[in-house]
Amino acid sequence: MGRLTDKRIWITGASGGLGERLAYLCAAEGAHVFLSARREDRLQEVKKTIIGRGGRCDVFPFDVSNIEEAEDVRRLIGPVDVLINNAGFGIFETAADSSLEDMKAMFEVNVYGLIACTKACLPVMLHANSGHIINIASQAGKLATPKSSLYSATKHAVLGYSNALRMELAGTGISVTTVNPGPIQTDFFTIADKEGGYVKSVGRWMLDADSVAERITAAVLTNKREINLPRWMNAGTKLYQLFPSFVEKLAGRVLKKK
């Protein structure tokens, strides 16, 4: 028995990284977790671990870029108390070198898929007058940096959507939380940073995935507006919002470490 006992939590992008760790923690708190991702074999491994620990878990393989399937998957899952939109990826390239195919793929997963899953859950949550939507965004959604123009654009979109949604749902009993982490030690960078230069540059400052997952799990079913990690990076984004030209000149070299 735990704080989340009998709560039904749908986690996308749960086959590894942050999503996998969230699945373990939420299940340990008593939640019935429903996991989605493209890799069914990995989802089954996560499920096996959760069941082995006495938790409850079901898997629904699903590529969130196939937005027409979101509603069908939600119907198979049934009512959802908490949706954690974690699925996402990035590719670090200059604006000149990035491809339109990469742009399309990132927006389909990071933005359209997130919106589709949210819309699939909203009617049930509105009927129950309760629920929690947690969108995994990024500090990149607040402070764009070189070689992340497309990725930052998707996360700016997630923040804009989430902020508007939060205001629309005021008074309904449904909370909206955005999570804005800096770089996390996960497989994210096997795609985003294929040459490994960014990881080498900022590796010492990378966030521990388990610690981030703990912060998010603690915020489930609360009215937490945002989770910003790490604090020093969030302070930098706030400074940038106030003095963008100053920060770009002062921290130009640091921001180009990709």
**Residue 151 catalytic?**
yes
Compute the distance between CA of residue 20 and CA of residue 3 in angstroms, rounded to an integer: 19
Question: What would the 3-class secondary structure string for 8-46 be?
Answer: EEEEECCCCHHHHHHHHHHHHCCCEEEEECCCHHHHHHH
Structure token digits, residue 168: 């629309």
Compute the distance between CA of residue 208 and CA of residue 111 in angstroms, rounded to an integer: 25
What Rg, from alpha-carbon coordinates, does the chain have? 18
Compute the distance between CA of residue 65 and CA of residue 113 in angstroms, rounded to an integer: 5
Which residue(s) pair with 84 in the sheet?
Answer: 11, 134
Catalytic residue among 24, 112, 151, 161: 151
Catalytic residue set: 151
